[in-house]
């Protein structure tokens, strides 16, 4: 199963919003660029960036910072947060050079946008974020709860041609209490979509449990806090090496 490190950017810093709540924001690093380079050094194959400022406002205040990351780490970047127009999506794919964009709020409010993006850029470039609280979708940076059930929404996305979703219960995000295993399994089984699991992953045992869902199409997992806080034994070695070699000059991966 592919493990995708997550870098959440807020006010130019690397953070973690516990349960998606503003008053529970944890700041991890002044430099998301250094975190991206560190994850690359730790052999990450893909890195996910959440632009939390963009998700809340729709504005691209972190554009230049994200551009530095895409140009320096040498692995595919998946980007989400406030992608609400075709023009922004096109800019991120063609100019910023991200491998794949994540659509959340816009997929709820503007299904025609999703259809056009799929037509023009293809399924591999578009992933839909299914963020739920108590089974219902949340949007606008997780601030507003809808009356749409996550499974219903995912089936609707499949109907317009979406191939992959990211599924997470935002109430578990940042708590290190384990993912929504049953919810992830249910949405994978009933939609037949490729699923990236997220939210609450805390340990190797969580990963092993999710790996049991590969047969249903859950082929990857996004992780944040567990990686930042060294919840995996091998990371202690990597981080010790990081203290010795602070240059982080990484070769481009072809």
Q: Which of 117, 56, 63, 132 is nearest to 85 (CA)?
A: 117
Look-up of token digits 């299914």:
130
| H-assigned helices in 144-216 | 150-159, 181-191, 204-211
Residues 162 and 154: their CA atoms lie apart, in Å, by 9
Active-site entry in 8, 51, 53, 180:
8
Both tokens of residue 166?
């990211």
Look-up of token digits 């859950």:
218
- Asked if 157 and 133 count as a contact pair (C-beta separation under 8 A), the reply is no
Look-up of token digits 């839909």:
128
Active-site entry in 51, 53, 131, 169:
131
Judge whether 53 counts as a catalytic residue.
no
Radius of gyration of the chain (CA): 17
Residues 47 and 75: their CA atoms lie apart, in Å, by 7
Pairing of strands 77-80, 47-51: parallel
Residues belonging to the active site: 8, 131
């Amino acid at each position: 199963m592919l493990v995708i490190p997550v870098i959440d950017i807020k006010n130019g810093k690397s953070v973690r919003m516990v349960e998606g709540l503003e008053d529970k924001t944890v700041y991890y690093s002044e430099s998301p660029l250094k975190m991206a380079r560190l994850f690359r050094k730790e052999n990450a194959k893909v890195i996910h960036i959440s632009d939390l400022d963009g998700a809340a406002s729709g504005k691209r205040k972190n554009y230049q910072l994200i551009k530095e990351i895409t140009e320096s780490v040498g692995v595919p970047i998946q980007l989400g947060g406030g992608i609400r127009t075709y023009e922004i999506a096109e800019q991120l794919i063609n100019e910023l050079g991200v491998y794949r964009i994540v659509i959340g709020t816009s997929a709820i409010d503007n299904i025609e946008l999703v259809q056009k993006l799929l037509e023009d850029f293809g399924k591999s470039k578009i992933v839909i974020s299914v963020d739920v609280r108590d089974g219902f979708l949340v949007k606008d940076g997780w601030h507003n709860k809808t009356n749409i059930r996550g499974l219903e929404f995912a089936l609707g996305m499949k109907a317009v041609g979406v191939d992959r979703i990211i599924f997470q219960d935002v109430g578990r995000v940042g708590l290190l209490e384990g993912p929504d295993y049953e919810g992830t399994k249910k949405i994978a089984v009933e939609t037949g979509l490729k699923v990236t699991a997220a939210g609450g992953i805390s340990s190797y045992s969580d990963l092993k449990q999710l790996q049991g869902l590969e047969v249903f199409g859950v082929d990857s997992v996004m992780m944040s806090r567990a990686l930042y806080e060294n919840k995996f034994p091998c990371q202690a070695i990597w981080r010790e090496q990081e203290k010795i070699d602070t240059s982080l000059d990484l070769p481009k991966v072809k």
